[in-house]
Structure 1
Amino acid sequence: MQKILIPTDFSDNAWNAIDYAMQLFRNKKCTFYLLNTYTPVIPSGRFMAKMVNGVRIVDAVRDASEEGLQKTVDRIKSKYRNSQHSFETISSFNLLTEEIKDLVDTYGIQLIITGTKGASGIEEVFMGSNTVRIIKSTKKCPVLAIPQHFEFITPTEIAFATDFNRFYSTSELSPLLELAQMFQATIRIVHVQYGIKALSELQQFNLNMLRRYLEGMEHYVHTVSELNSVSKTLELFSQELNIHLLAMLNYQHSYMEQMTREPIVKRTAFHTQTPLLVIPELGMEGVAKDNPKKKGEVVES
């Protein structure tokens, strides 16, 4: 995680995400790419002003974006003075999600850190905010969403929510493992069930594989009954065990997908203030990277 992208609209919650990032990676050499996108309304009617005080509207918005980014970098350097951190600023006339996808490919971004808005914190992720659009559109690197009012805590307790219905590749788990190793964190695997029942043969196999990945790291498995909704259940679990970061994979039928599709009435009680690490599904591409085969080698299914 040496190349980190942080979108900002210069709001307080965006700064909070930057603040979290600087502290999370305080002992790591990183390049942070600060992004601000803008899409000014271009007047088309002949009676609508295209200029303000002799300056084209598009140019004025671009100048404000570039100035805001530079002020943000100055503020970071003034507060943290970390010689291991370098910064690049990107001001773009583009849609946020489209620009992020381009930058992930162009710069090889390894992590996106973004803030969430609203008094209910992470609930906003599932209610049409920029964060949920970033999560849904980003297929190649994880997204770390920081609640608006969350104050940095070294993540020594990390929860990984999963239903064990899917095989995990090491490429997919590497962001989780890297953070856990950085802070010698305990990983708490949490499985939400609607009614407690024994794991299927497939689920047990995937759990065993997960435990193999976590060998040498302190980890525990927790099975909990669903309370009203998956989101509410994970919220209470995080509160009771003082979880500092909640991680999950984003794939079809995953907890992440379930939470985005839960009726709003069920999500209104979801007021967690826990940072959320969403890891995209890499599928067979990730498995292939984990298990490179030699030319002519046959892999049994």
Structure 2
Amino acid sequence: MKNILLPTDFSNNSWNAIKYALALFKGEQCTFHLLNVYTPAIASSRFMAASFEQGTFEDGARIHSERGLERMVRRIKNVDSASGHHYRTLSSFSLLVDAIRDTVEKHDIDLIITGTKGASGLKEVFMGGNTVRIIKSIKNCPVLAIPQSFEFAAPSEIAFATDFNRFYTISELRPLLDMAKMFNAVIRIVHVQYEIKALTELQQFNLGMLRKYLRPVEHYVHTVSELNSVSKTLEMFTDELDIHLLAMLNYQHSYVERMTREPVVKRVAFHTQIPLLVIPELGMGVSPRWKSSETDAVSH
């Protein structure tokens, strides 16, 4: 059984991500952990006469959080009839990223699914600030970010963005492979180049291993020229090929890191029109969180 974490602030944005999660794992045995974080304004305590009042304020926030989660579970059960789905509620007096990190460890979470907001007003951003913080801070669990207006579509076309400069392990690719198998999807490996040129020997080796790992599913390799920025290029690629899910591995100098670096976030417009799956790198001694019924062996 998979453990899926669904952070929620009870907004329409987070409800849309929850609906996507329910549809994505419709035929799977899952426990959905709904997490709401409440952080009363500590600064206001200096205007309070006694600590008792501060405690009362925190109790009120906790009750509001717990009742909101109860209403959310009732709302979910009204739309989700899957017998294999179970729900747990988690109310936390904490900062969002800290609460998510603790929950991932404590409840053996396989995947975090969160809603994300695009650009607002004149400020164009990569994604909502909370989503960027989660991606940058959570290093041991895949994150699936769902745009606020995106309605579930079975991901029959999945793009995997890579520059072939890094060797991927089968454990790191497992969430991508399993997703493709679940929906009989095609994986389109997309390599963005500033100028089109032949791959180096290292890149050729990494591409060969990547194709070997992806052998169980239909896959193709696309090399595209960079248009203004990697993010804008990927946006156009996914739009032209009607991609339903974009996947990337998060490691040093990766596309994800480049796009979530603060100065880049502020000047590059990348509106996530489709869900984005960010897979963490697994260093030496780090066990994969994503549960799979298959072994990680591969024939060479």
TM-score (ref. length: structure 2): 0.89
CA contact (8 A) 1:169 1:287 kept: no
Letter paired with 1:12 = N
Q: 2:113 and 2:179 mapped to 1: Cα distance?
A: 14
Deviation, structure 1 residue 56: 1.1
Which of structure 1's runs of 4+ aligned residues deviate more than 4 A? 46-52, 286-291
1:1-301 matched pairs, under 5 angstroms: 2-42=2-42, 43-45=44-46, 47=48, 56-119=56-119, 126=126, 129-261=129-261, 263-264=264-265, 266-268=267-269, 270-285=270-285
RMSD over aligned Cα atoms: 2.4
Q: 1:191 and 1:251 mapped to 2: Cα distance?
A: 16
Structure 2 residue matching 1:259: 3-state secondary structure: helix
Structure 2 residue matching 1:283: 3-state secondary structure: coil
Gaps of 5+ in 2: 289-294
Gaps of 5+ in 1: 292-301
Structure 1 residue matching 2:133: 3-state secondary structure: helix
Question: Bigger shift: 227-236 or 101-110?
Answer: 101-110
Structure 2 residue matching 1:167: 3-state secondary structure: coil
CA contact (8 A) 2:30 2:86 kept: yes
Structure 2 residue matching 1:144: 3-state secondary structure: strand
Count of aligned residue pairs for this structure pair: 287
Letter paired with 2:274 = T
Deviation, structure 1 residue 51: 7.4
Structure 2 residue matching 1:282: 3-state secondary structure: coil
Structure 1 residue matching 2:45: 3-state secondary structure: coil
Letter paired with 2:264 = P
Deviation, structure 1 residue 197: 0.3
Question: Bigger shift: 208-217 or 180-189?
Answer: 208-217
CA contact (8 A) 1:228 1:266 kept: no
Seen in structure 2, the aligned counterparts of structure 1 residues 239 and 127 have a Cα distance that, compared at 3 Å, is closer
Q: 1:135 and 1:275 mapped to 2: Cα distance?
A: 14
CA contact (8 A) 1:169 1:290 kept: no
Number of the residue aligned with 2:292: none
Deviations 1:146-183 (Å, cap 9, x if unpaired)? 00000110000000000000000111100000100000
CA contact (8 A) 2:117 2:128 kept: no
Question: Bigger shift: 126-135 or 85-94?
Answer: 126-135
CA contact (8 A) 1:117 1:124 kept: no
Seen in structure 2, the aligned counterparts of structure 1 residues 195 and 143 have a Cα distance that, compared at 3 Å, is same
Q: 1:160 and 1:184 mapped to 2: Cα distance?
A: 15
Structure 2 residue matching 1:187: 3-state secondary structure: strand
Structure 2 residue matching 1:160: 3-state secondary structure: strand
Structure 1 residue matching 2:247: 3-state secondary structure: strand
Structure 2 residue matching 1:188: 3-state secondary structure: strand
Structure 2 residue matching 1:16: 3-state secondary structure: helix
Letter paired with 2:230 = V
TM-score (ref. length: structure 1): 0.89
Q: 2:241 and 2:213 mapped to 1: Cα distance?
A: 23
**Identical counterparts, % of pairs:** 65
